[in-house]
Amino acid sequence: MNYCSECGERVRVRVPEGDSLPRHVCDACGTIHYQNPKIVVGCIPEWEDRILLCRRAIEPRYGLWTLPAGFMENGETVQQGAARETLEEARARVEIGALYTLFNLPHINQVYMLFRSRLLDADFGPGAESLEVELLDESQIPWDDIAFPVIRESLLLYYQDRARGDFPLRSGDIVRVDGPPRRVEVQMHKPGVIRAATP
């Protein structure tokens, strides 16, 4: 950010008085432009023993498979956002169920919330952001072509839990580790244990 969206003057990055982190600050009008993490909402649409996956028609990860998910919009709930994204990307109508995975992705300032959901009918198809949309059973999941680590991890957990017949809330952190670019590590939280706030 270079210019203030309130008055058009140049902003600079500094720690405002009484704050502890650097922010984009406009000294002309006094506005502090806070930037906070974005919430990504989506779901695992179920139909009998299959789930719905979308192949991406957009960057990043063009051509790879993912669950319907996207940025939450102002004025909606996380459940409404998950259902809206499913309608937009897969032209599918779902009943949103329980929250299933919650992942922090601090290296890209995102929080993912994925719900289990039930397809209301088998009428679906690719939306503008998808090349194709398919109902797949476990043996058909393209594990080597999943677009994002958070989606791959959620699907791995889903099939483990489905085999046990129980779907508790799974939460964890996906963190970048040193080494080759884009390498990340999954650190699951222990059930019922609140993770310490300090890194």
One residue of 1, 3, 7, 169 binding Zn ion per CB under 5 A: 7
Q: Stretches 18-26, 67-75, 123-131, 169-177: which one binds Zn ion (CB under 5 A)?
A: 18-26
Asked if residue 105 lies in contact with residue 174, where contact means CB atoms within 8 angstroms, the answer is yes
Instruction: Provide the minimum distance between the beta carbon of 83 and Zn ion in the complex, in angstroms, as a whole number.
Output: 38
Counting contacts by CB under 5 A, is residue 29 touching Zn ion?
yes
Counting contacts by CB under 5 A, is residue 26 touching Zn ion?
yes
Radius of gyration of the chain (CA): 19
The Cα–Cα gap between 184 and 186 comes to 7
One residue of 3, 6, 58, 109 binding Zn ion per CB under 5 A: 6
Asked if residue 69 lies in contact with residue 40, where contact means CB atoms within 8 angstroms, the answer is yes
Query: Which stretches does DSSP call E strand in 1-136?
Result: 12-14, 23-25, 32-33, 38-47, 50-56, 65-66, 69-71, 94-105, 110-119, 130-136
Q: Stretches 6-14, 34-42, 62-70, 155-163: which one binds Zn ion (CB under 5 A)?
A: 6-14
Which tokens belong to 78?
């996380």
Instruction: Provide the minimum distance between the beta carbon of 25 and Zn ion in the complex, in angstroms, as a whole number.
Output: 9
Q: Stretches 5-13, 88-96, 151-159, 190-198: which one binds Zn ion (CB under 5 A)?
A: 5-13
Counting contacts by CB under 5 A, is residue 19 touching Zn ion?
no
Q: Stretches 28-36, 72-80, 146-154, 182-190: which one binds Zn ion (CB under 5 A)?
A: 28-36
Asked if residue 5 lies in contact with residue 11, where contact means CB atoms within 8 angstroms, the answer is no
With the C-alpha atoms ordered 17, 2, 37, 119, is the resulting torsion angle positive or negative?
Answer: positive
The interface with Zn ion within residues 30-69 (CB under 5 A) comprises: 31
Binding site for Zn ion (CB under 5 A): 4, 6-7, 9, 26, 28-29, 31
